[in-house]
Structure 1
């Protein structure tokens, strides 16, 4: 009997559905925790803004520049970081990312002290720390996407991507009230303001999780001691089959217009997302709510609704196998919700309903659009391509924060920037519908040029 026949017989003895369920529960919870604190450490600066501007004596424009500096560092090192991850192994590199970003996030507590130590302005040190935070976190999200691509074929990635991205609403549902409570009740401890303690306390879990990543994850399928040989062969076979229909080299991938459509989709979607998450606390305060804990509670409401929508949309997309309209419709709904929230900004109950609709739309499409790159790329192209596409998403962090800031400067009303963010989300829906439907049929992506040991390299070139 041939080796292929033996492998086939062994694979048939494994229940594929149960195996992927086992895989999901082994990997997804760890990545979920990491991603939760990734977003918490990224957007809690929006809550810190409520107190830190007065303490550091910086204005809205300086804050917007500082917020955007994170993405400059993130973008600059995104592709190199993902290539290093592909070479040295995911668990080592992701653990390093989390440890260093936790340290820098916590160090932001001492912005004024560090500015005095190095003889610079508070605003300058704020910019430096935000830039360093972006450099340290660079490659985290595309690295996690690449890691998922090592284990799951694209038609099974929606569930695991949903599990990962459920961290977005979770970090904001829990993080909003937590950040507000910490800022309010820790204010004055040992002479430090509430925003300083909040940044320190919320930065510590990222450092602790670095050790969970290092000891809890396996780099590739054949490194997993918790899988049997038959399970490894089945997973390996599925990934190899999947990768045979994807672009492996980065150069040809850059000439595929669908890759650039993915970049445009991620950029426009994330512009709306970052604009909403960065400025939502300020938008709520502009409506007349002053207490930081109550602001945190109110900002959690839209993301509770969004989590439910995200769950249903991911489930329905996975059940039906449809991934275009499941992203386009939420994009149109989210854009409309943002526009309506600005139109009813003076009426807090109606504005909150509109923000719930907006957040539901934005997060409803999130687990769907992040499966698009995995439908097209594998190997080296995936390592560099995921990072490139996510870099465009990171540029949106600059765009999202500056759109709202500039509109407030020009018009005196922070809500006018929300109209622009809503229009950008509508553009997301248009771009999604421009993506060929055949892209999302398993095996329909353009086949890579013949290359020896491509599948094996994609699975085994990291050290144990």
Structure 2
């Protein structure tokens, strides 16, 4: 974000001799776009991610109150992604056709309502059903935002922008984990409701409120943005049009499915998402297993890895755009994440060592996600991007089903989280290898 802060203080007009926009004017215009849309989208994603993964905190009380096993919890956490998978592609295509403003608002309001309904869960079947419906409601939000950013920013600016947007994940952990712990500890047994029930109700309210705000605030694209001048609109549209010719090609939905690059990108993303959701769903349990007690204390310690991650992911996103290099900026964090999981698993009874290496794991896996999206969006745009991003994200996010269920099953089987964390490390190594095998000419734009 610092680069946009710096450009805002530059002189009001800088054009070349032919009257074309100069570098300072271009940067100033992108700074204006950045501050208008990215912080708001970050707020939306903080709320989205909090409502998606707060079930990891609810587990600290919920499993005991409802007698759910680790496998039941893992399956319930993961079944969210089945609904997400089924509706994501049609959701993204509908957003491209109907416009981001109404569709993103619809997504947020419906998932807020679904999240609040968790207060009534009493059986595993009810838990599974509501997690599935929550995934169905939220489907399309994340890939929709990635698609939306392609309307405003050309490919060589996206790694940094997506990294800033995805800082919402660690921000959600930094503030959401202590908040969830505090709500559960403070409101437990108030008016006959458990702390985890209060948490679901209270944390659902922002989704509905921000969803309504989206209708009033967000624009569908450059052409409908009244806060831009005609010259600024032309500048932005010309920048998008000037991207590499391969991006401008239009392909049918069938061609996107037949394109081997779509499936290769899906494999890479699946590997990275396995690590991401293994971390975010099980972080409270991993911290508790080191001997920490009290929901609020667990929440505070769980925030530390996300503080580290927010710094690393933005530094790496800025570096990737500056150098126009994608592959090694992905391989490094993926391998670092694998090391973090492996060492944290080996020292599971030592709180200080576990937190230190969970911080390395968090920095690694959370850096991979924004940098990954600079790969497929380097060769996809328009309707092709709407379908391609949704397909990749849908398949990749099936790891969100597999990862928590796998860890829960292995924890019930071995009475330890060690084996599951080693599997997460192995998946990150596979993802790094797949990135290394991706031709540099395809993605370094």
Q: C-alpha deviations, 1:272-315, integer Å up to 9, x for none?
A: 01011111111111222121111111111111111111121112
Residue number in structure 2 paired with 1:226: 227
1:296 aligns with 2:306: no
Asked if structure 1 preserves the Cα contact closer than 8 Å seen for 2:163 and 2:367, the reply is no
Asked if structure 2 preserves the Cα contact closer than 8 Å seen for 1:327 and 1:429, the reply is yes
Residue number in structure 1 paired with 2:236: 235
1:30 aligns with 2:32: no
1:101 aligns with 2:111: yes
CA distance in 2, matches of 1:46, 1:12: 49
Residue number in structure 2 paired with 1:268: 271
CA distance in 1, matches of 2:246, 2:350: 52
CA distance in 2, matches of 1:34, 1:101: 12
CA distance in 1, matches of 2:214, 2:19: 31
Q: CA deviation at 1:239?
A: 1.5
Q: C-alpha deviations, 1:18-42, integer Å up to 9, x for none?
A: 1111111111011000011111111
Q: CA deviation at 1:259?
A: 2.2
Asked if structure 1 preserves the Cα contact closer than 8 Å seen for 2:287 and 2:301, the reply is yes
Normalising by structure 2, we get a TM-score of 0.93
CA RMSD of aligned residues (A): 1.6
1:75 aligns with 2:77: no
1:248 aligns with 2:244: no
CA distance in 2, matches of 1:15, 1:298: 44
Query: What SS class does the counterpart of residue 314 from structure 2 fall into?
Result: helix
Q: 299-308 or 311-320, which moves further after superposition?
A: 311-320
Residue number in structure 2 paired with 1:40: 50
Q: C-alpha deviations, 1:68-96, integer Å up to 9, x for none?
A: 12111100000000011011000100000
Q: CA deviation at 1:318?
A: 2.0
Q: C-alpha deviations, 1:121-158, integer Å up to 9, x for none?
A: x2111111111100100000010011011111111112
Matches within 5 A, 1:133-212: 133-212=134-213
Q: CA deviation at 1:11?
A: 4.7
1:257 aligns with 2:267: no
Normalising by structure 1, we get a TM-score of 0.89
Residue number in structure 2 paired with 1:130: 131
Q: CA deviation at 1:406?
A: 1.9
Query: What SS class does the counterpart of residue 226 from structure 2 fall into?
Result: coil
CA distance in 2, matches of 1:254, 1:66: 29
Q: CA deviation at 1:393?
A: 2.2
1:55 aligns with 2:65: yes
Match of 2:21 among 1, 9, 12: 12
Asked if structure 2 preserves the Cα contact closer than 8 Å seen for 1:108 and 1:199, the reply is yes
Asked if structure 2 preserves the Cα contact closer than 8 Å seen for 1:403 and 1:420, the reply is no
Residue number in structure 1 paired with 2:411: 408
Query: Please, which runs of 5 or more residues in structure 2 have no aligned partner?
Result: 1-16
Q: CA deviation at 1:319?
A: 1.8
Query: What SS class does the counterpart of residue 390 from structure 2 fall into?
Result: helix
CA distance in 1, matches of 2:344, 2:405: 19
Q: 78-87 or 208-217, which moves further after superposition?
A: 208-217
Query: What SS class does the counterpart of residue 214 from structure 1 fall into?
Result: helix
Asked if structure 1 preserves the Cα contact closer than 8 Å seen for 2:289 and 2:349, the reply is no
Asked if structure 2 preserves the Cα contact closer than 8 Å seen for 1:10 and 1:230, the reply is no
CA distance in 2, matches of 1:380, 1:243: 16
Q: CA deviation at 1:248?
A: 2.5
Query: What SS class does the counterpart of residue 394 from structure 1 fall into?
Result: helix
Query: What SS class does the counterpart of residue 227 from structure 1 fall into?
Result: coil
Residue number in structure 2 paired with 1:459: none
Asked if structure 1 preserves the Cα contact closer than 8 Å seen for 2:272 and 2:427, the reply is yes
Residue number in structure 1 paired with 2:364: 361
CA distance in 2, matches of 1:259, 1:21: 32
Matches within 5 A, 1:366-405: 366-405=369-408
Residue number in structure 1 paired with 2:6: none
Q: CA deviation at 1:159?
A: 2.2
Query: Please, which runs of 5 or more residues in structure 1 have no aligned partner?
Result: 1-7, 113-121, 443-464
Q: CA deviation at 1:12?
A: 2.8
CA distance in 1, matches of 2:124, 2:406: 20
CA distance in 1, matches of 2:245, 2:324: 21
